[in-house]
Amino acid sequence: MDVTTETFQRDVIERSHKLPVVVDFWAAWCGPCRMLGPAIETEVAKRAGQIELAKVDVDAEQTLAAQYGIQSIPTVAIFRDGKPVTGFVGAHPAATIGSFLDDTIEKHGEAVDAA
């Protein structure tokens, strides 16, 4: 899902209390971003229900990019319990992304009791 400054609180911060949210900080002009995007979307889709993907266009959402100190793109940050807990910078092969997501789910993906 595309996330804006207006929807970030709900779509990322609040959602991350239920499961890890992968935030892909990208820009349309960025070649490595265009390579990473489909790979990360595919890998997250394989783990549906365990992790969620949010995409932030840093050109359109400069406030969010500044707030999270994004200096290079693509940058991927995993949010859990309202804060970034891990991530990586740069484009990586699908297998590497898959392993990263599996590790993230193992470390940060336990179910949160709603009670």
Could you list the active site residues?
A: 30, 33
**Would you give the DSSP letter of residue 91?**
-
Phi, psi (rounded to 5 degrees) for 4? -115, 175
Please tell me the distance from the alpha carbon of residue 13 to that of residue 17, in angstroms, as a whole number. 7
The dihedral sign for the CA sequence 102, 110, 76, 21: positive
> Cβ(70)–Cβ(25) under 8 Å?
yes
Tokens of 25: 């900080």
